[in-house]
Structure 1
């Protein structure tokens, strides 16, 4: 099970999203719960994308933009352009 503070997804739901993956919007912390609990905390990204090619594996990607959230002709509108100042993007992974 993959869960955030207010929603959870089964591996079947993640696989059903197919090529577009599954967006977990406006989330900085995710929990992957199996025999142990893997906690992912991100900074600077804002969302996650989940996808899985097989039932025994899940890919969890921190993202700042989900390209399928806009019409494909408007893809350039969704990307973040960095200013002269650096921005910090972090991912922290812990196991409990």
Structure 2
């Protein structure tokens, strides 16, 4: 679904707003300030959360947790172990 568009099909509203502000100031009109930035919503910054997660994984563990005596080993399906023992 590719559409060919030319430069004449784009409409630059930002440029129009800036031009109208300039004209208003030149005419001596009072120009309203922009709206203040919206207040934080409490949404999580995903990049900061990712960095914190990576830092936790890379840093040595200071908390004492119960450790397993050996690392987890992959468990084979029950049928596969039986087949392997017959071949040996």
Report the TM-score when normalising by structure 2: 0.19
Report 1 or 2 for greater relative contact order, CA contacts < 8 Å, sequence distance ≥ 6: 1
Report the TM-score when normalising by structure 1: 0.18
For the pair shown, the structure with the greater C-alpha radius of gyration is 2
Q: Which has the higher strand share?
A: 1
Q: Which has the higher helix share?
A: 2
